[in-house]
Structure 1
Amino acid sequence: MTAGKVEQVEDMSAEDAGVSNGGPDLTNKSVIKAMALLTELGRHKGGLTSTELAQAVRITRPTAFRMLLTLEQTGFVDRSENLYTLGWQVARLGRHADPYAGVVARIQPILDEYAAKLNETFSFAMVRDETTYDVIAEASGFNLLNTTQPLVGREYPVHATASGKILLAELDDRRIDASLPEILEAYTADTITNRKALHREIKQVRQQGYAILDNELEEGLFAVACATRDSEGSLTGVLSVNGPLQRLKSTSLPATIEQLHQAAQEIGKALD
């Protein structure tokens, strides 16, 4: 064995080698630490120093520096003076990846569980930007009167959907006005088309922690939605339960909302 290889082996801890006190651990802890650094950089577009990154992911500064140097050499990290940001390789790989495949795999069992428990249709939307979202997964109960059209892949207006109202509740009133036309499109006789009325609705959403769609997008359609958040409280998506107005808008609505919040918390943990 050469001197270089000896030094490399000696520098590798038992943790990095994938060995734990409870037996062999097949995960590579160095890779996990590197991914933690990249994830943290994704939260800070302006960049972080190696010291800030080390503190954020709870590793030593020398370890963070060595990993950042390797990531920089391979294009996954860029450095300007003492600030590190995500590199061009991350963007290149991102263009080839399905942005939602991994998410759906994690949350589908939760959607299936709650759809079966409440016998209603649950859907999950990922936030695309401030006022748009993509419904990426759904699960239906066994009621004959359920949402019949697939929810995944369709475009929805933010002012006339429960999920859209959750997005709007993240914005202040001035930002809402800047994002939407002065006269909002009507889809039914109950659609909110007046900005002042929409502001009152969004204020209520912020106060109660959930949004309601009551016959505003399609005749007879009722929905309740709430936010899913990561451990830092950032919005990661929107979970909703959808179904016929006459069934969902009933005395059991408070229990449905409670179950919706519980499912949202589970999804938030699954995606964190």
Structure 2
Amino acid sequence: MTARKPAGADVTGEIADEVSGEQPNDPNFMTSLARGLAVIRAFTEREPNLTIADIARITGLPRAAARRCLLTLMQLGYAGTDGRTFFLRPKILALGYSFLSSAPLASILDPLIERVSGAVQESCSAAVLDEDEVVYIARAATKRIMSVGLNVGSRLPAYCTSMGRVLLAALPEGELEAYLRRAALKPFTERTITAPDALRRELERVRERGFALVDQELELGLRSIAVPVRTAAGAVVAAMNVSAQAARVTCPEMEVQFLPHLTRAAEEARVLLVRTRGV
């Protein structure tokens, strides 16, 4: 059985739901801004070129509204067109850079994951939880090991990724229960945990062990192990992981070879976070 496309690569339903959830009764809510952001999010690695009809379908916007958003983005230099389809221009990176450059967490974790990656000769990443997905804030890749390329800013479902499980396990009980009620636990492989009760038990195990190990649940042939990144007060603010091809390393070997490096890096991050304001 082949792995299915990660949820972060298909955001059609999610974006349409967000746009349809506009709040016309809130005088502080800017519908035009919400629509513009929805149009930006419609572009993905799999669909970098989209027509107006594509944008309207993905976002749920009327074609006229989608067209106005695209033309506005073009005038501002964030989008371009070949005459039929539209695409994002490099200037769009400035939006993500504004967050990364102002976030001490990313700057602290970046050299740590580089060091871990160099030590274990595997890809290492850091991510935070954003609603029901993990968002990569730092990454050191030795080679491409997934069918979908991952970079800073990439999003993946939380429930079937090692960093996602570490972050979900740290949620307060009420927030976790709300997540389990609303999350669509889709199978990416035959190994993916899709039952809420089974996922709850696995998250309890993650809390007890202090790390998460996911074996080919997101994509066949991919294993990953993750640990939480905590502040001095013990709050989990991020996760760090190492990913590797299943053919090269077993689950027990991951615990022996990779976990100590991740644990040391997370402890060092905790010390550094004490010295950083705003974290």
TM-score range, shorter chain: 0.5 to 0.7
Which consecutive residues of structure 2, in runs of 5 or more, have no partner in the other structure?
Answer: 1-94, 275-279
SS class of match (2:247): helix
Task: Write out per-residue CA displacement over residues 35-63 of structure 1, whole angstroms, 9 at most, x where no aligned residue.
Answer: xxxxxxxxxxxxxxxxxxxxxxxxxxxxx
Structure 1 partner of 2:262: 260
Structure 1 partner of 2:191: 190
Q: Distance in 2 between matches of 1:239 and 1:210?
A: 10
SS class of match (1:248): coil
Structure 1 partner of 2:272: 270
Residue 133 of structure 1: how far off its partner (Å): 3.2
Q: In the alignment, does 2:126 pair up with 1:114?
A: no
Q: Distance in 2 between matches of 1:234 and 1:158?
A: 18
Residue 174 of structure 1: how far off its partner (Å): 5.1
Q: Distance in 2 between matches of 1:119 and 1:191?
A: 26
Task: Write out per-residue CA displacement over residues 92-132 of structure 1, whole angstroms, 9 at most, x where no aligned residue.
Answer: xxx99823224333322211111111001100113335x44
Q: 1:178 to 1:111 in 2, by over 3 A?
A: same
SS class of match (1:114): helix
Structure 2 partner of 1:167: 167
Contact in 2 for aligned 1:111/1:139 (Cα 8 Å): yes
Contact in 2 for aligned 1:120/1:146 (Cα 8 Å): no
Contact in 2 for aligned 1:214/1:222 (Cα 8 Å): yes
TM-score, length of structure 1 as denominator length: 0.58
- Which deviates more from structure 2 when the two are superposed, residues 201-210 or residues 249-258? 249-258
Residue type matched to 1:231 in 2? A
Q: Distance in 1 between matches of 2:105 and 2:231?
A: 13
Matched residues, percent identical?
Answer: 27
Q: Distance in 1 between matches of 2:107 and 2:173?
A: 36
Q: Distance in 2 between matches of 1:132 and 1:156?
A: 5
Task: Write out per-residue CA displacement over residues 56-106 of structure 1, whole angstroms, 9 at most, x where no aligned residue.
Answer: xxxxxxxxxxxxxxxxxxxxxxxxxxxxxxxxxxxxxxx998232243333
Give the root-mean-square deviation of aligned CA atoms: 2.5
SS class of match (1:107): helix
Structure 2 partner of 1:231: 232
Contact in 2 for aligned 1:162/1:213 (Cα 8 Å): yes
Contact in 2 for aligned 1:146/1:244 (Cα 8 Å): yes
Residue type matched to 2:271 in 1? K
Q: Distance in 2 between matches of 1:253 and 1:270?
A: 26
Larger RCO (alpha carbons 8 Å, 6+ apart): 2
Structure 2 partner of 1:200: 201
TM-score, length of structure 2 as denominator length: 0.56
Contact in 2 for aligned 1:121/1:241 (Cα 8 Å): yes
SS class of match (1:246): coil
SS class of match (1:171): coil
Contact in 1 for aligned 2:139/2:152 (Cα 8 Å): yes
Q: 1:251 to 1:157 in 2, by over 3 A?
A: closer
Contact in 2 for aligned 1:125/1:137 (Cα 8 Å): yes
Residue 172 of structure 1: how far off its partner (Å): 5.1
Structure 1 partner of 2:214: 213
Contact in 2 for aligned 1:226/1:261 (Cα 8 Å): yes
Of 102, 105, 120, which aligns to 1:103? 105
For 1:1-272, list aligned pairs within 5 A. Answer: 98-101=98-101, 102-129=104-131, 131-141=132-142, 146-147=145-146, 149-171=149-171, 175-180=175-180, 181=182, 184-255=185-256, 256-272=258-274
Which consecutive residues of structure 1, in runs of 5 or more, have no partner in the other structure?
Answer: 1-94
Residue 199 of structure 1: how far off its partner (Å): 1.2
Residue type matched to 2:243 in 1? N
Residue 218 of structure 1: how far off its partner (Å): 0.8
Contact in 2 for aligned 1:125/1:237 (Cα 8 Å): yes
Paired residue total? 175
